[in-house]
Amino acid sequence: MRLLVDAGNTRFKWRLEQEGIVIDEGWSALGTNAPLASIEGYLGAVSRVGVSAVIHEDIRLRLSSYLEQKVSGPVHFYWAEAQRFGLRNSYMDPRTMGADRWHGMYGAWKRYKCGCAVIDAGSAITVDYVNNSGQHLGGYILPGLKMMLKSLKNDAARIAFEEGEVSKAEPGINTAECVNQGLSWLSRAMIERVSKDVSELNLSQTLVTGGDAGRLFALGMKGAHHPSLVLDGLGYIDSEAFG
């Protein structure tokens, strides 16, 4: 039995597999003491764990310790690489790329083997482009919805508002609308730019993952929804590592 873990900035996502069949998958908040409590009965039978992590090192060490206590098999952390089976990283130093971006791109590449845009709408929004030959063309990192809301609440003391509808983008007529619909306006501008890039770069697929993927689709994003894209890529890499 294999356990795959995507430890992001705010969520701990996991997938439990037996001989390639998904037994269960889910998520928990990152800061919980027992993030795998719902599948604890299975953990003794886990023969290995593969982890994609972008968390701070102290949290990663605590996670590693937790997993090693709960499962009998080894725990392997996988990071971004210079290349893998036709996918080539544009970074001069791949170690400086977030593992989730690489694993999401690899999941897309293994599934489609064509030019694609990979958008991960999480705490931060990442956009990465891969051409038809597997060359990573680079990407963008933007603040996500919750990060922008938190920044406005914390750093603009005179802007008082409540979180609300974020799928409308017309001008607001009160502060809450101006903030929430302003964020949607920014997101729509990003969506339009992605669409333009996809056309100009001749990319065949747009794949969207992350907790705010649904909001991007509501705002007009065109593409395929792959909620577990990072885990997919991680699973391919772990399988290739162990045969």
Q: Output the pLDDT for position 175.
A: 85
- What span, in angstroms and rounded, lies between the C-alpha atoms of 102 and 236? 12
Query: Residue 174: how many CB atoms within 10 A of its CB?
Result: 9
What are the tens digits of pLDDT across the range 160-212?
A: 667 766 677 889 998 888 888 999 999 999 999 999 999 999 999 999 999 99
Q: Which of 103, 101, 188 is nearest to 139 (CA)?
A: 101
DSSP state of 135: B
User: 80 — phi, psi (to 5°)?
Assistant: -65, 150
Extract the tokens encoding 137.
């063309």
How large a percentage of the chain has pLDDT more than 70? Answer: 96
pLDDT (tens place) for every residue of the chain, 243 residues total: 999 999 998 889 999 999 889 999 999 987 788 889 999 999 999 999 999 999 999 999 999 999 999 999 999 999 999 999 999 999 999 999 999 999 999 999 999 999 999 999 999 999 999 999 999 999 999 999 888 888 887 877 667 667 766 677 889 998 888 888 999 999 999 999 999 999 999 999 999 999 999 999 999 999 999 999 999 999 999 999 987
* CA trace torsion 95, 57, 235, 104 (10° rounding): -60
Contact 39, 13 (CB under 8 A): no
Q: What is the pLDDT of residue 158?
A: 63
CATH numbers and ranges of domains, the chain: 2-78 (3.30.420.40), 111-228 (3.30.420.40)
Task: Please check whether residue 211 is in contact with residue 225, taking contact to mean a CB–CB distance below 8 angstroms.
Answer: no
Annotated binding site for ATP: 6-13, 123
| Residues tagged in the binding site annotation for substrate | 91, 98-101, 175
**Residue whose C-alpha is closest to residue 207's, from 190, 188, 230:** 230
Closest CA to 50 of 23, 26, 81, 17: 17
Catalytic residues: 100
Residue with tokens 């709960």: 70
Side-chain-side CA neighbours of 49 within 13 Å: the count stands at 28
- Asked whether 238 and 230 are in contact (CB, 8 A), the reply is no
Residue 166: per-residue pLDDT: 63
Contact, 237 vs 51, CB < 8 A? Answer: no
The pLDDT, as a whole number, for residue 201 is 98
Q: Report the predicted TM-score, pTM, of the whole model to 2 decimal places.
A: 0.94
Residue pair 126/119 in contact (Cβ under 8 Å)? The answer is yes
